[in-house]
Every structure is written in C-alpha cells, then in structure tokens.
Structure 1
Amino acid sequence: MKPTGKEVAPEDRAFGQHVQRLRKQRGLTQQQLAVLVQRTASWMSQVERGVQPVERFDVLQELADALGVSVQQLRPGAPLPSDSQPKTPPFEKANDLDEARRLISGHPAVGTLLGAMRSRPTRSLTELVREVDDVWTLTHDGRFAEVSAKLTDLLPDLEQTVRLAEAGERDTAHLLLARTYQALAAAFVRQDEADAAWVAADRAIWAAEKSNDPLHVCAGVFRMVQAFVRLKRLGQAEHAAQTSIDALTTLDRNEELSVEGMSVLGSLHLALALTYARGQQRAEARAQIDKARSLADRLGGDRNDFDLEFGRTNVAIQAVSTAVDLGDAGEALDLGSEIDASSLSPERQGRLLMDLGRAHAQRRHTGEALNCLLRAEELVPETIRTHVAARKAIRELVLIEGAGALPELMALAERADALE
C-alpha cells in the first residue's frame, strides 16, 4: 500500500533515482528531459524525488523513449502492452474539424480553374463578409463543429470568388479568404491538428499577400508560428516570428506603424514567448512577454485587430500560460488571480481557466485544478476535451488521486478521453 500524505514510497524514490542516473548518463538536464516528454521541469523534479509516482505505461514509454532505453530497462518488471491490442490505433481519432480537414486536403479551387464549376459564386461580397465574421465568432466561441460545417460550402465559394471577381473587388475577396483560412488555422491549433493548421496558415498568408494587406500577412504568420510550436518545430517557429517582428519593429522605430500594426507586433511577441517557453528558455520567454506588455500599454485598452484579441488582458493571460509551461505554478496562480478576462472571448477565458487548472495540478491542488477545468469546460467544452495540455493535466490529476479520484474528475477524464 502507498503511504499517505507527503511520505515518499521507497519504490518511488528508487525509481526516481534510477531516472536521474539515466538522465545524467545522457547528459540531459531536468528541463531538457521535461521538454522531451512534454511535461514541466517541476513534474520531472517530483519524479526524480519520488514525489510523483509514474505508474501508467504510456508515461513510462515516453520517459523510456526520451532516455533511449526500453521500458523494461527503465522499470524492470513493467508489464508489456497486451499483444491483443494494437500499439497504435488503426484510424485517427475523430474530432470536430474532420470535415474541414478533408476539405483542405484537396484544393477547393481546382474545379474553378478547370472550368468544371459554376461560372459565378452563389454569394455576394456583402454576404461573404457576414459569413466570414460568423466563422470568426464561432472560432472565438470554441464551437469547432459548427466552424467545420459552415466552411463546407463557404470555403469553395470564397476560392471561386477570388478567381472570378471583378478587378475592383479582388482585393476584398482575397482578404476574406485570408481571414477564413486564419480562422481555420486557429481552430485546428486549438484541436491539436497542427499539420492541418500549417496548411491553412500557409494559404492564409498567400491570400493576404494577394489582397495587398501586409499586416494580414503578418497575422497569417502568427497562425503559422502557433502551428510550428505544436509540431515541436521550435526553430521554425522562432524564425517565422522573428522575421515578421524585425520588419514591424523597423516600421515602429520609424513611427510608420499603425495602431493595428502594434496589435500584430504584440501578438507576434506573445507567439515568440510561447516558442521560448516550450523550449524552456526562461529569460527569452519573459523578455518577449515584457515587449508585448509594453506595446499593450501603448495601445491602452483591449483590442481585437485581425481577431488577435491583443491587449493588456491577453498579455496577462499569456504570462500565466508561459509561467505554467516553465513550471512556475506559483507565479502562474499569483498572476491569474489578478486577471478579469470577462471582456474577452469564451476561448480566451477558457484558456486562462485551463492554464490555472494546469498550475493547480502542478501544485497537486486537485480540487482547485478540477474546479478550474470544469469551469473552462462550461465555456469551451470542445477545447478542454481535445487540447493536449488540458488532457495531460486531467490525466495527471487522475494519476495523483489514484483509487480516491472524485467521480467528477473521472467523468471529466472520460469526456476528454484522457485515460488512454
């Protein structure tokens, strides 16, 4: 039987010491190993001290892979996965954006280019503006199944419109197409479909360039950076963000950057902060947060230029997320207690609650963590049930509580499919 309270079980202490030896043999720091297994340095420290038991086979497998050993070398006597169950599922899990993913897997413009489609779009530009605004409303609300359903007809119509519109309407049509692909990229990122987000962001950048709106190009780069981060291509994320930041900063120094441009620049600093935080580059991440905060102070109130929701509140939310990624749970909770996000979208409010839940989970505050995650689920159920960070936090809470896990926690874990 496991000891209760803060007493460390001898077998957990021995396992932690074994992990520490293997880590040092590979020349890794705790932070570096934590990044490899997509967890925090705090979690890794707790494992090595025996405070955090590691009992699930999937977590053992992640650690073993990162340390370059087999699961049996990591934990002698660990059961092998059942031969009757495939190691990888034969099909990808369905999610709310499956139809949208299928849609962009082909190119909606092919029929128009080959003359096989109708000669005129079914919607006017005025109608398309309304439809694209609706797509962004659904995206900010986290209603991704509705985003997918809406785009089934809308996206092909937009692709057709940009190729058939009169010269005077072509820039507007391309801008609408860019905004639609940006929304789709944002939705894909939030459901951890990062490869599809990359495709959508790339198309958004192309359409924005055709619209002759360079700030929308940079907004598309912001979406691409988020996709790169989720794909763990941190070098590419840094390069993409920094290239746009450098260009916009030059305009700012020359006093040629508009208010809208400051929103884009600030958002790119936040994206770069996320990139550095995921790479456990603490000083660099905090420096980017500071630069974003300075721009937000210059802007004053919260804004929503290019659907980026940039402003002081969003910077504060990102500071909480950065602290959690860096394993600074106490700082995240202190920062979060001062934030009133009620003026922002349900997605942003849900993200703050999710990150506070993650911070409480790092502190092993199960009740507080569960409360935050359930409140986030009320706001953006699709995000909480599909976001990899939320699902990992839920899984860790179940692991911490073991047989004593509350029914509400187990129900949430079931809804989020977090027990696999």
Structure 2
Amino acid sequence: MFELLAVTYQACSASLAKLGEPEAAWIAADRAISAAERAGNPLMMAAGAFRLGFVFLGARHFDQVEETARTAAEALWFLTDQGNVEAMSLWGGLTLQRAVAASRLNQADVAYEHLSRAREMAARVGEGRNDYNTEFGPANVALHEVAVAVEVGDAGHALRIGTAVDASTLSAERRARLAVDLARAHAQRRQVDEAVARLLEAENVTPEQIRNHRVVRQLVSDLVSMQDPASSELRELAERVGA
C-alpha cells in the first residue's frame, strides 16, 4: 500500500513541477519519501529524493539539491556495490543532479567530478533502461555534460559533446532539453541562426514545453537583441514564446 502511495506522490510531484507549482510539487515529493520510508523500501526513498531534487533545481535551491542528492546517494551505495542495477541508476541520476547544482553555483571542477563518476556508473548500467524514470545511461550523462558546460560558459565543449551524442533513445522532454542547451551554447558564441535552428528543433519535439519555458523566453529575447534586424524565423519564434 505505501509503495503504491509513494509512486502516486512521485507522479503528482512531477506533474505539479511541470505546471509551475513548486511548493505543491515539494510537498508531494516529501510525502513520496515518507510513504517509501513507511514501506521500508530504500529504492523508493531514493526515487522520492530524486524527484525532490528536480523541485529544488527548479526553485534554484542548489544547496538543498546537493544535500538531498548526496544523502540519498550515500544511502544507496551498499546496494550499488552489490550490483543492484536499479540502485545504480538512481545513484547515477542523483549524481547528475549534484553536477547540475554545482555548475549553477559556478563550481565547474566539482560539477565535472560528479559527471566523471556518473559516467563510470553509466558504463556499468548501459543504455535502454529507465529505472524509476531516471533514464540513466551514457546518453543521459552526455546530455548533462552539455548542460553543465553551458552553465559554466564552456560553449565549445558543450557543442562538441552535444553534436556527437545519440539521444534518440531518450524521452522527448530530454531531447528537447538537449536542443535548448545547444541553442544556449550557440548564443554564447553569438551564432544566432544556429541557435534559432536548435530552438525550432526543440519546439518541434515538445512545443508546449518550449513555448512556456522561462529559460527559452529569456534566450529568445537575448537572440533578438543580438540580431538587427531579426530574421523572420526569430521574430515568429519570439511571438510564440512571448519574448
């Protein structure tokens, strides 16, 4: 019963986060962890912490991302050491969250260290799994490496990794996020047309997500300011996202 309740709360947290309701998503994730604890299921507890990490990332509480993900990952280490693949996937997903949080705190060395450890674990897990909705594997690590590189201003590295990765096995949401991060990398190099092409690619994959995304709106505004006059594609995109 409590395991089912934990899964339900996790799903609610994910949906609420996408709807822009961080406080409600936070409560749902916290209740998912409590339900998993009552069920005595360490994997479900870690999955709840993984979901909570996304809420904290969205709310820009990066220190809380680190604390939550680190604690949950440490609790999983015994199971990962035994070769439990589900635990390995969760550990990897939590470690990627730590990498993103570090990059947003401008701690590049720390972020890349987390990525290195996640990459080693991903090689053991392999592709084609989606344990607890982590989508953890080599391709997902590469996506996060692109995101980290963009955050720390290393556009060249982001573009090298991002253009080489095969993200076809990942969800539409993750593929769109990769395209947005590559657009951000092109914008850092003031390559406006290339950035617009990537944003249109992302919009084609998940139009609702792109048209209501705060980061995309700001990025498009920046691109408009870079290009004078703005291309028709860029002007139309700006209108669609409200930039």
Query: Which TM bucket (shorter chain)?
Result: over 0.9
Q: CA RMSD in A?
A: 1.7
CA distance 1:270–1:192, shift in 2 (3 Å): farther
Pairwise CA distance, 1:333:
0.4
Contact 1:191 1:387 in 2 (8 A): no
Q: Does residue 1:291 correspond to 2:110, yes or no?
A: no
What whole-Å deviation, never above 9, does each CA across 1:147-194 have from its counterpart, x for those lacking one? Answer: xxxxxxxxxxxxxxxxxxxxxxx2xxx333322332332344445543
Distance 2:166 2:102 in 1: 26
- Written as runs of structure 1 = structure 2, the 5 A alignment for 1:335-414 is 335-402=161-228, 404-414=229-239
Work out whether residues 192 and 386 of structure 1, in 8 Å CA contact, stay in contact via their aligned partners in 2: no
Give the direction of change, closer, same or farther, for the CA distance of 1:280–1:189 in structure 2 (3 Å limit): farther
Structure 2 Cα separation of the partners of residues 204 and 332 of structure 1? 34
Residue 276 of structure 1 corresponds to which residue in structure 2?
102
Distance 1:185 1:251, change over 3 A: same
Q: What amino acid is aligned across from residue 261 of structure 1 in structure 2?
A: A
Distance of 2:106 and 2:16 partners within structure 1: 24
Report the Cα offset of residue 398 of structure 1: 1.2
Give the deviation of 1:264 after TM superposition.
0.2
TM-score by length of 1: 0.55
Query: Greater share of helix residues, 1 or 2?
Result: 2
**Alpha carbons 2:220, 2:238 under 8 Å: kept:** yes
Spell out, residue by residue over 1:31-65, the C-alpha distance to the aligned partner (whole angstroms, 9 max, x if none).
xxxxxxxxxxxxxxxxxxxxxxxxxxxxxxxxxxx
Q: For 1:187 and 1:243, locate their aligned partners in 2 and report how far apart those are by CA, in whole Å.
A: 24
- The worse-fitting range, judged by mean Cα deviation, of 266-275 and 356-365 is 356-365
Residue identity opposite 1:359 in structure 2:
A
Tell me how far apart the structure 1 counterparts of residues 193 and 78 of structure 2 sit (CA, whole Å): 48
Once the 2 structures are TM-superposed, how far is the Cα of residue 388 of structure 1 from its aligned partner? 2.1
- Which residue, 63, 86, 89 being the options, matches 1:235? 63
SS across alignment from 2:164: coil
Asked whether the equivalents of residues 221 and 241 of structure 1 are also in contact (C-alpha less than 8 Å), the reply is yes
Q: How far off its partner does 1:213 sit?
A: 2.1
2:104–2:152: 8 Å Cα contact kept in structure 1? yes
Q: Which of these residues, 137, 144, 157, is aligned with residue 318 of structure 1?
A: 144
2: CA distance, partners of 1:251 / 1:343: 26
1:105-120 to 2 correspondences below 5 Å: none
**Separation (CA, whole Å) in 1 of partners of 2:24 and 2:235:** 31
One-letter amino acid matched to 1:273: A
* C-alpha distance after superposition, 1:234-277 (max 9, x if no partner): 2211111111111222443xx33511000000000001001101
Q: Would the alpha carbon gap of residues 325 and 194 (structure 1) be closer, same or farther in structure 2, given more than 3 Å must change?
A: farther
Code of the residue aligned with 1:411 in structure 2: it is E
Match of 1:223 among 48, 51, 54: 51
Aligned position for 1:415: 240
> What is the rounded CA distance, in whole Å, between the counterparts of 2:226 and 2:14 in structure 1?
32
Q: In the TM superposition, what whole-angstrom CA distance separates every residue of 1:322-357 from its partner, at most 9, and x where no partner exists?
A: 111111111100001111111111111111111111
In 2 relative to 1, CA 324–309 (structure 1 residues): closer, same or farther, beyond 3 Å? same
User: How many corresponding residue pairs?
Assistant: 243
Offset, 1:379: 0.8
Over the matched positions of the two proteins, sequence identity in percent amounts to 45
Residue number in structure 1 paired with 2:154:
328
Quick one: structure 1 residues 323 and 368, their matched pair in 2 at CA, closer, same or farther if it must change by over 3 Å? same
Q: Bigger CA drift: 262-271 or 235-244?
A: 235-244
Bigger Cα displacement from structure 2, 392-401 vs 261-270? 392-401
1:182 aligns with 2:7: no
**AA of the residue aligned to 2:150:** V
What letter corresponds to residue 208 of structure 1 in structure 2?
A: A
Question: Contact 1:248/1:257 (CA < 8 Å) preserved in 2?
Answer: no
User: Which letter does structure 1 place at the counterpart of 2:56?
Assistant: F
- Structure 2 residue aligned with 1:305: 131
Matches within 5 A, 1:161-176: 170=1, 174-176=2-4
Higher Cα Rg: structure 1 or 2?
1
Which residues of 2 match residues 52-63 of structure 1 at below 5 A? none
Determine if contact 2:79/2:87 at 8 Å carries over to the other structure.
no
Task: Could you tell me which runs of 5 or more consecutive residues in structure 2 were left unpaired when the two chains were aligned.
Answer: none
- Relative to structure 1, the CA distance from residue 200 to residue 382 in structure 2 (aligned partners, 3 Å threshold; closer, same or farther) is farther
1:157 match: none
Question: Are 2:36 and 2:44, in contact at CA under 8 Å, matched by a contact in 1?
Answer: yes
Could you give the per-residue CA deviations for residues 255-308 of structure 1, whole angstroms, max 9, x where no partner exists? 335110000000000010011011000000000111111000011223100011
2:38 is equivalent to residue 213 of structure 1? no
